[in-house]
Amino acid sequence: MKNNTNKTIAQGAEAVIYQAEQTITKDRIIKSYRIPEIDSSLRKQRTKSEARLLSEARRAGVSTPQVLEVKDTTIQM
């Protein structure tokens, strides 16, 4: 999901965080040591779960980023 207007602001073992104007995007990294089908499934599942937990915490009154969009392995906040 990275393009020329995005600026990498952090990279960890699980994901790269980009900033573009008013949004932050978290993109989960491919793990080449995993079987590709398992890697894809895990990354999608973990991304979906994280977005759901962020939204639930926000509704409960915790200060969290607002989830704007979730696509496969990417969360836009």
Predicted confidence at residue 58, as pLDDT, reads: 96
pLDDT digits (tens, 9 = 90+) for 10-59: 999 999 999 988 999 999 999 999 999 999 999 999 999 999 999 999 99
pLDDT at 32: 94
Residue 2 has pLDDT above 80, yes or no: no
Q: What is the 3-state secondary structure (H, E, C) of the chain?
A: CCCCCCEEEEECCCEEEEEECCEEEEEECCCCCCCHHHHHHHHHHHHHHHHHHHHHHHHCCCCCCCCCEEECCEEEC
